[in-house]
Amino acid sequence: MDLLSTAPRKISFVASGTPEAEAALADLRSVYGEAGLDGAEAIVALGGDGLMLQTLHKVMQRKLPVYGMNFGSVGFLMNNFAREDLPQRLAAAQATQIYPLAMEVIDASGHRQKALALNEVSLFRSTYQAAKIQILVDGETRLDELICDGVLLSTPAGSTAYNLSAHGPILPIGSPLLALTPISPFRPRRWRGAILNNRAVVTFRTREADKRPVSAVADNVEFQNVIEVHVREDRAAGVTLLFDPGTSLEERVLIEQFRY
């Protein structure tokens, strides 16, 4: 099929706010127009990985594909910037579907709150004292007490982000897996985490919560003083990222595994 016939013509642009990204935003809008979020067939995000995550959360319910161009520091989720032939690049791009984690927390007041995470759900100690966290998988206790700075559950897409910095495993994109990784574990000191089936429901229960308060974070949404946190993958809320041919997210994750 001719790429011109499949190229998105209605594009909406967003930028991170840096001078370079804003200049590119104005330039691209002058060339390709601005469809607006409601009329767009695709979103082009100009910034870094943080902007990409914000944009994906924003368009999750609209099922719009997002193509990023890098104006950030790392740009793991972004493509190189180019002004020319943007509709054709979008038509030729390789699509990767990723699914978020659904987090439900119960805080010390008994309130329940929910959020979605495309990268990871993390629990962190909120004071100078280490957190004490019980970990259950599908209702069965797997670790009675983890004494730590925190713990996280990562999607494959997020496994090369904070999870990797915490010495967690890199998961292939598309694999039916989740990475459970401790953050600075004190006891058991040698526990390095687990790789779980993506159908698993993971529950975190905080111990001595009054003395050792814990916060829970889903990407950039934080809840304080949590008592219990339930996390599962949500297959009803997928998002689509677009990458130039030869630079797919699958390829980037594979390359990351051979870095030294």
Among residues 2, 27, 38, 49, the one annotated as catalytic is 49
**119 belongs to an annotated ligand binding site:** yes
| CB contact at 8 A, 42 and 8 | yes
50 is in an annotated binding site: yes
The C-alpha atoms of residue 117 and residue 193 are separated, in whole angstroms, by 19
Was 122 annotated as part of a binding site?
Answer: no
Q: Let me know if 49 is a catalytic residue.
A: yes
Is 165 one of the annotated binding-site residues?
yes
Q: How far apart are CA 26 and CA 73, in angstroms?
A: 21
Q: Is 220 annotated as a binding residue?
A: no
Question: Does 49 appear as a known binding residue?
Answer: yes
Question: Is 82 annotated as a binding-site member?
Answer: no
**2 labeled binding residue:** no
Give the angle 240-241-246 at the CA atoms, nearest 5°: 130
Please compute, for residue 118, the number of CA atoms within 13 A of its CA located in the half-sphere on the CB side. Answer: 22
Q: Is 85 a known ligand-binding residue? A: no
The closest alpha carbon to 203, from 230, 232, 234, 233, belongs to: 230
250 labelled ligand-binding: no
* Size (the chain), residues: 260
Catalytic residues: 49
Q: Which residues are annotated as part of the binding site for NAD(+)? A: 49-50, 119-120, 149, 157, 160-165
Bind-site residues: 49-50, 119-120, 149, 157, 160-165
